[in-house]
Structure 1
Amino acid sequence: MVSHHQGDNFYDGLPRETSFDHLTDLGRYTPLPDDWQIGVADIVNSTGEVAAGRYKTVNMVGAAVISAVMNALDGQPFPFVFGGDGAGFAIGPYDAAAAQQALAAVAVWARAEFDIGMRVALVPVADARAAGHDVQVARFQASPGADYAMFAGGGLLWAETEMKRQRYVVAPAAAGTIPDLTGLSCRWAHMKARNGKILSLVVAAMPGADAADVAEVYKQVIDVAEQLDRGGHPAPQVGMVSRWPPAGATLEAHAARGSGSLGAARRKALFEALVAWVLIRTGLKIGGFDARRYARVVADNADFRKLDDGLKMTLDCDAKTQTRLQAVLTAAADRGIVRFGMATQDEAMMTCIVPSILTDDHLHFIDGAAGGYTQAAAQMKTR
């Protein structure tokens, strides 16, 4: 067990905010300590990977960054955010070495298992501040069992930009290094839109825009989305649907196999998925595990909306609401406050980190099933 020092208890002490719309209020964010670091990771040419139909792989590799760091820290809570084709997080000084090793391992693993290039970097919070960007964090309690970090201040975005300029880059680990991705899985069936389309939305502040104006636009967007059934949550309230065989079994085997054979890892994933499928269909319980309840908690715990120096949402959206969102955002873009991208598809998908099926702290990252966030961000660049 890694020993954690007092200085790393910063994140433990943050209040949990239960109303997502309150998180547009920058007064609810706390600046990260100066001696912390920002971790960033993204997939090289994710737009091309998504165009080639590898969106589930892109999501899996993005989530692998979070899984590897979580396991490296023995489950110690830390702020992180899933971005579809990558991830961002922050880490205290005592955990920086472990996080760096995890990032280095994921980069080499992504290349070896999937032939995907990854950029990974660790950027001192102090450097972001010196460049004029703060890194502030809040905790959103999505459900009784799961909470997610939200980032504000521009520092996370700045760190990503620096990484793309080849600065602060973490070198890949030695060939053959394998990250600990215990708990990383993607077994659930895709979630079909119930209201029309799955809308992937990415909004970011224009450089130099007033922070209060930007927050007001985010609030307007969230208010429009709140009119949708359950705020546009794409996961069905009755619980997630399990299909057999699961589409993600091979991907999960790549994550779980370690140095073992892919075939054996895939058979294990298929067997576990089959057991879960039977339990959900029959309502049987095994050893305290209630699969139907678990399927409901998955939906509650999912991160279909987030603030990470921008606003990202995956919404089950009807045409009228989409038009209203477009109108709000176009008006704000015309005023030079934000830029945005939208992509629609018929389904949403989920990538999961499940430390234990017997506790409610499992995490579920949602994206559009056609690579929604990546596609929306690609549109944003050209606006």
Structure 2
Amino acid sequence: MSIARPADHAGFFAQLPLLESEHDTFDLNRYRPAPDDWALVVTDVVDSTGAIERGLHKTVNFVAAMGIAGLRNLCAPIRIPFLFGGDGAVVLVPPEKVAQARIELARARGQAAREFRLKLRVGLVAVGALRRFGCDVRVGRFEPTPGNSFGVFLGGGIGQLEAALRGKGDPELARLATIPESLDDGEAVDLEGLSCRWDTLRSTRGTMLTLILRGRGELGDVYAEIMRLAGPEMESRPVSLDTLRARWPPNGFMLEARARRRGGSLLAWTARVLAETLVARLVLARGKPIGGFDPERYRAEIITNTDFCKHDDTLCFVIDCALGGVEEIKSYLDRMAATRGLRYGIHLSDTALMTCLVTAPADSLHVHFLDGGGGGYTSASKKLKAS
């Protein structure tokens, strides 16, 4: 187990070696121990399966991203690692923001219940305290384009904290990570930049394939073989110029209105979001630069500014896959399950969903979270647990 020495708190994540492609995330030498006094945050939507069955898949994704948006806004301009998992998230918070982060997470939990009728489980614990339970938190900086960073993690800390919060792990760790309901003062979290303005992404190659892989040891060769079987890697991206469509009004405009109103009039904020999205739709349709914003460049950046979920012994991703490749991938994973003990969950859908966190679109600072349609990650996780 690695023990992190005192570090430059503001610079810890920003100074990590760059992982510029998904394949780079399998280079274990480019991960670093998180400082002991940073705090690991995990969130997840309780009974996300039931919510998705009630037609709330987009809402589940949005609520899962709330923790990321709120903590990122709280910690700005300090760069922090974060990871999206469909119905939950992982974030690391620097020590000077931990006390306020606990309040923000309590508020996010309350806001999820009040505005979206979803129960959000939240927990936070110092990395140093987590290490005393026999696990570690090592961090990599996946940055597909300059300034747009995601976190990837090793060491088992995330899994151990998640298990404790769900009542399946160490009760003492769960106690340390608990965030009291009393910290929620009813104030809304700052979710500026969080939106769902793009239409559902539709497969152009056959099917959107959501995969969750879990296994000890190196998974880089498994990922590489899956991508080979899926077809040309650039064509396998769920987001492409062919799949990006903007409609008006966007399907998620009420999610954005509820998230941004911060106690104000829902009617007024709905009108504001509708006006903003209409202007954005017209600018994108025109396709010509306005001021510092170039809509064609922005579309192209979305294709690469998407997340890649890797933590501990778990790997999650969504690809647009030719139908002929699906059975080959399944056969290959069955062989890996038999020979290497790999476990996997798979979900197929015609579509994928995208949730966006936009900081400064004119400066190319925007990231996008993906999930397979019809409950992608949630469904794949359920099948993984049943295997």
Instruction: Tell whether the structures are fold-level matches, with TM greater than 0.5.
Output: yes
Instruction: Give runs of aligned pairs for residues 257-276 of structure 1, distance below 5 A.
Output: 257-276=261-280
**Would the aligned equivalents of 2:241 and 2:299 in 1 still touch at CA under 8 Å?**
no
Which of 50, 53, 62 lines up with 2:52 in the alignment?
Answer: 50
Cross-structure match for 1:346: 350
Whether 1:169 aligns to 2:178 is yes
Q: 2:86 is paired with a residue of what secondary structure?
A: coil
**Counterpart of 1:84 in 2: which secondary structure?**
coil
The structure 2 residue matched to 1:301, chosen from 305, 325, 331, is: 305
State the TM-score, normalized to the length of structure 2: 0.90
Q: Secondary structure at the match of 2:15?
A: coil
Q: Which residue of 1 aligns with 2:4?
A: none
Q: Which has the larger displacement, 52-61 or 126-135?
A: 126-135
Q: Match of 1:362, SS?
A: strand
Map 1:23-42 onto structure 2 (within 5 A).
23-42=25-44
Match of 1:381 among 370, 382, 385: 385
Distance (whole Å) between structure 1 residues aligned to residue 127 and residue 226 of structure 2:
29
Q: In 2 relative to 1, CA 144–175 (structure 1 residues): closer, same or farther, beyond 3 Å?
A: closer
Using the TM superposition, give the Cα deviation of residue 65 of structure 1 relative to its aligned residue in structure 2, in angstroms. 0.6
Please identify, of 13-22 and 127-136, the stretch whose mean Cα deviation from structure 2 is larger: 127-136
Q: How many angstroms does 1:239 deviate by?
A: 7.7
Structure 2 segments unaligned to the other structure (5+ residues): 1-6
Cα distance, 1:222 vs structure 2:
4.6
User: How many angstroms apart in 2 are the aligned matches of 1:254 and 1:245?
Assistant: 15
Q: Structure 1 residues 231, 240: closer, same or farther in 2, change over 3 A?
A: closer
Residue 246 of structure 1: how far off its partner (Å):
0.7
Residue equivalent to 1:361: 365
Distance in structure 1 (CA, Å) of the matches to 2:15 and 2:66: 26
CA deviation after TM superposition for structure 1 residue 231, in Å: 5.7
1:244 matched to 2:248? The reply is yes
Among candidates 16, 19, 32, match of residue 17 of structure 1: 19
* 1:201 equivalent in alignment to 2:204: no
1:327 Cα shift? Answer: 2.0
Q: Do 1:78 and 1:90's aligned partners in 2 also have CA atoms closer than 8 Å?
A: yes
SS class of match (2:186) = coil
Match of 2:200 in 1: 190
Q: Matched residues in 2 for 1:108 and 1:317: separation?
A: 39
d(CA) in 1 for partners of 2:220 and 2:289? 46
Q: Is the 8 A contact 2:201 2:243 kept in 1?
A: no
Q: For residues 47 and 320 of structure 2, what CA distance do their matches in structure 1 show?
A: 27
Distance across 2 between alignment mates of 1:152 and 1:6: 21
Q: C-alpha root-mean-square deviation of aligned residues, in Å? A: 1.9
Aligned to 1:333: 337
Identity among equivalent positions (%) equals: 36
Deviation at 1:56, TM superposition (A): 0.2
User: Does residue 292 of structure 1 match 2:293?
Assistant: no
Instruction: Report how far residue 175 of structure 1 moved.
Output: 5.0
Q: Is the 8 A contact 1:69 1:98 kept in 2?
A: no
Q: What does residue 188 of structure 2 align with?
A: 178
How far is the alpha carbon of 1:131 from its aligned partner?
A: 2.6
- Please give the alpha-carbon distance, in whole angstroms, between the structure 1 residues aligned to 2:210 and 2:303: 18
Task: Give 1:255's aligned amino acid.
Answer: A
Q: Is the 8 A contact 2:194 2:356 kept in 1?
A: yes
Conserved in 2, the CA contact under 8 Å of 1:11 and 1:78? yes
**Take 1:127 and 1:333, find their aligned partners in 2: how far apart are those partners?**
34
Q: 1:230 aligns with which of 234, 237, 254?
A: 234
How far apart, CA to CA, are the structure 2 residues paired with 1:215 and 1:132?
25
Are the aligned partners of 1:108 and 1:177 in contact in 2 as well (CA < 8 Å)?
A: no
For 2:247, the aligned partner's letter is: R
Per the TM alignment, residue 163 of structure 1 is displaced from its structure 2 partner at its CA by 1.4
Partners of 1:83 and 1:178 in 2: CA distance: 23
Q: Closer, same or farther in 2 for the Cα pair 1:18/1:190, shift >3 Å?
A: same
Report which stretch shifted further, 37-46 or 122-131.
122-131
SS of 1:141 mapped into structure 2? strand
Query: What letter is aligned with 1:282?
Result: R
> Where does residue 326 of structure 2 map in the other structure?
322
Corresponding position of 2:226: 221
Deviations 1:110-139 (A, max 9, x none): 001011111100122234333332211111
The amino acid that maps onto 2:297 is R
Output the amino acid matched with 2:25: L
- Counterpart of 1:217 in structure 2: which amino acid? V
Distance 1:134 1:298, change over 3 A: same
Moved more, 122-131 or 111-120: 122-131
What secondary structure is seen at the aligned counterpart in 2 of 1:6? coil
CA distance in 1, matches of 2:81, 2:121: 20
SS in 1 for 2:23: helix
Deviation at 1:53, TM superposition (A): 1.1
**CA distances 1:160-185 after superposition (whole Å, capped 9, x unpaired):** 11111271221233352211111111
CA gap of 1:7–1:151, structure 2 versus 1, over 3 A, is same
